[in-house]
Amino acid sequence: MSKDFNFQVDGDKLEFTINTKIYSLETIYQAAYLFLDKVYIFLDGDPSKEIIVVMKIKDSPDNNSVDLEKIADEFHNELLNQLLRAKVNKSNAKIREYIVAQALYNAVPNEVDELLEEVEETKAENWQDDPMNIAKPWEGDKESN
């Protein structure tokens, strides 16, 4: 494959190849997905070497003025965009996992916190109960003698 992005336009069809040593299948699928509203997309080839992409204009009033050469250039730019997204996604995976784990951990009430809250509520409700007369003031005992 040459350094230029080569494509062939034949009537309402556009055809080009993508080197899968540069762009993963996932990257190609993600880029292709964004063009499904304008063109039909057919993928073929050997995934270990290259993918042949054939695009055909959809019959639609909105697509009458579709420029296949422009779509080829936009598709190539989108491949680069998706490749960069995949690399950033991979490099940030650990920190994203940590943030999600922290959010989930903080969203679930901690058992220790629940037990402490339960003890505090019990104390608040029963602070005046004194079945053993421990809370009785000493001075009161002197007066009763």
Residue 19, domain CATH: 3.30.70.60
**Which value, in Å, is the radius of gyration of the alpha carbons in the chain?**
35
Split into its structural domains, the chain has a count of 1
Q: What is the pLDDT of residues 91-105, one digit of tens each?
A: 998 998 989 888 877
Between the alpha carbon of residue 142 and those of residues 88, 107, 130, 137, the distances in Å are 79, 55, 19, 9
Please indicate, yes or no, if residue 58 is contained in any of the structural domains: yes
Residue 75's domain spans which residues? 7-91
Q: What is the pLDDT of residues 60-90, one digit of tens each?
A: 666 566 788 899 999 999 999 999 999 998 9
Question: Does pTM surpass 0.75?
Answer: no
